[in-house]
Structure 1
Amino acid sequence: MADTPDTRLAALEITLPVAAAPVANYVTTVLTGNMLVVSGQLPLVDGKLLITGKLGGGVSNQAGTACARACLINVIAQVKAALGGDLTRVKRVVRLGGFIACTPEFTEHAVVMNGASDLAVEVFGDAGRHARSTIGVPSLPANAPVEVEALFEIA
């Protein structure tokens, strides 16, 4: 069996959800040239937030990391939908942007965002190694603790 993003997802026992529809006046993805931009994705599992709250304010780093991973699963679902189901068209995960809802004292943003970054490498191999920004914010939609956006190079 070929080593592809889909076979890696299967080995990780990850089933991608149906890509979520936008909830406001925006689109979930924009393909321009060979770049695919994915709008911020929340840690939705079966249509519901995995957890709510803020890092440093009741949400543990471990739970935040799981949320970042769930966000990236939703990012990948958006990519797959935008590419007609063909994840082999992903040449590179160029950049991930992470937003961490947290208290002012919280400083472990990078640890939380590793949930998304680690999964990008697990699914896309070396092509999953990416540039990244991670920032703390006072709140996110629906009281989500994490949101992840992404930029991909596409063949």
Structure 2
Amino acid sequence: MKTEHYITVASLIVTIFLFYIGQRNQLKTLAKQIQTQTEENKVQHLYSFQNSFWQKQLELYVNTTTAAAELTQFELNSESYKKSRETFYTYFWGPMSIVEDTDVKKAMENFSSALRDYEENTSKKSLDHLKRQSYLLAKTCRSSSITRWELKDFKLESDEN
């Protein structure tokens, strides 16, 4: 009987040990799955953030370049001009500082300088320069967006200007 008793106890110990090993492996597998899901969620949240950031950036680029273009069209010191000027500088000193890259920042500064020159010395030459800076600001914003969205082969016909 003692031998049978030892065999039963040994079988029970082996069964418990194998059960423990199986459970431990399942826990490891589950932990790896959870970690993989967590990493996938992080990546998904990052893509979601980037997408919303880039969409907001594009929206601000459009609004800012619209205000700049309007400043080249409205009569100096008219109500429409004053409103567009206020809009441009609101974006210049505020939201654009959050989303602009260095090229857009430089183009914004160039437009601002041309605007001051135009306001101080209103002439066809200063207005033409202001229009050119508005156009370059818009192109720089477009280029920034294309680069940001990694659209390497995206070109429009007027890219040579």
TM-score by length of 2: 0.29
Max Rg structure: 2
The structure richer in strand per residue is 1
The structure richer in helix per residue is 2
TM-score by length of 1: 0.30
Larger RCO (alpha carbons 8 Å, 6+ apart): 1
